[in-house]
Structure 1
Amino acid sequence: MLARRQILIVLSLGMTLWLVFTLAIRWTPFLFDQGLLNALLYLVSLPAAWLLVSLIGRVAGLAETELLSGIALAICAASLCDGIGVAWFSTLYGSDPDHHRLGAAYILWGAGVFLLIALIRSQRAMRHTGDSPPLS
């Protein structure tokens, strides 16, 4: 179970990372044209997500076995922000509706990647400690 301090940290980091990625989408529309750069962005995001999961875990003081819970809370905060942003503040993502769609898709995909990485790392840690993994 996460401590209150850890919960506040991961929620704050989730919202902060959402804002950073949203502004990056706004300022780099050329990465979201469904071309080669867009594909490379998705590819480069895999190791970057691994590092960001590690950073969130370290800043929040999460044990490897707590990563899934912590990242799930961070993703929850980011997803709530993204839903509100897309629905009512879509110009945060830029001026082109296609750009909004592609940017929102990237954030949604990134959320899944973060959760998958946290699940893999939590399962590995639980196997090493003898606890039952969440999915067996």
Structure 2
Amino acid sequence: MNTQLTKAAERNSLPANPGLLSLSQMASVTFLGILFWFAGAMIVRIGTPLNFFGQEPGLLSFLAAIPLSWVSVLLIAQLAKLRNPQLVPGVSMGLAAATFFDGIAITWLPWIYGADHSEIGLGAAWILWGAFTFLGAAFVETYRRSVKRK
């Protein structure tokens, strides 16, 4: 391991491996993951009665998730102070927290998503798609930043 990198990590209380997250970063991305899950759940709750997740409008909601996720990844990177090698692990940890809460809510607290249980599946599919777009945006943004630096 590079001695200078290790000393710099100790001074800044960052892990020696540049892809690892500090404890404060882990707490930040976990909190942000839960916050973004809750925002998604509220979008499902409000959007389901407006037919935002039906067959035809579902295409628009799925497409809208792409730029929304990209901006959210940039926000997560800034708020959690993630460096480029930390972006994918950080977003992944946030997604793990979000998926954990989503699974619990769908199983035991489905009313969070709205009263119509028959339409919750459409909103849940949108949240699952959102998880993919978050992770995809993190990979693409990491690549974009790496190419930009060269």
Q: Same fold (TM over 0.5)?
A: yes
Alignment RMSD, CA only? Answer: 1.5
- Higher alpha-carbon deviation: 94-103 or 75-84: 94-103
| Equivalent runs, 1:73-112 vs 2, <5 Å | 73-112=93-132
Aligned with residue 31 of structure 1, among 37, 47, 52: 52
Q: Identity of counterpart residues, as a percentage?
A: 33
Aligned with residue 54 of structure 1, among 74, 77, 95: 74
Q: CA deviation at 1:114?
A: 0.7
Q: Is the 8 A contact 1:68 1:122 kept in 2?
A: yes
| Equivalent runs, 1:40-51 vs 2, <5 Å | 40-51=60-71
Q: Over residues 22-41 of structure 1, what are the superposed CA-to-partner deviations in whole Å (9 max), with x where a residue is unaligned? A: 01111121201222x22111
Partner SS, residue 52 of structure 2: helix
Q: Is the 8 A contact 1:11 1:74 kept in 2?
A: yes
Q: TM-score, normalised by structure 1?
A: 0.87
Q: Is the 8 A contact 1:18 1:82 kept in 2?
A: yes
Residue 13 (structure 1) aligned with residue 32 (structure 2): yes
Q: TM-score, normalised by structure 2?
A: 0.80
Q: Over residues 45-102 of structure 1, what are the superposed CA-to-partner deviations in whole Å (9 max), with x where a residue is unaligned? A: 1111110000000000001221100000000000000000000001111122232101
- Aligned-partner Cα distance in 2 for 1:115–1:33: 24
- Aligned-partner Cα distance in 2 for 1:128–1:47: 20
Q: Is the 8 A contact 1:65 1:125 kept in 2?
A: no
* Counterpart code for 2:27: L
- Aligned-partner Cα distance in 2 for 1:79–1:69: 15
Residue 122 (structure 1) aligned with residue 142 (structure 2): yes
Q: Is the 8 A contact 1:65 1:123 kept in 2?
A: no
Q: CA deviation at 1:117?
A: 1.2
- Aligned-partner Cα distance in 1 for 2:137–2:77: 12
* Counterpart code for 1:20: A
Give structure 2 stretches of 5+ with no counterpart: 1-19
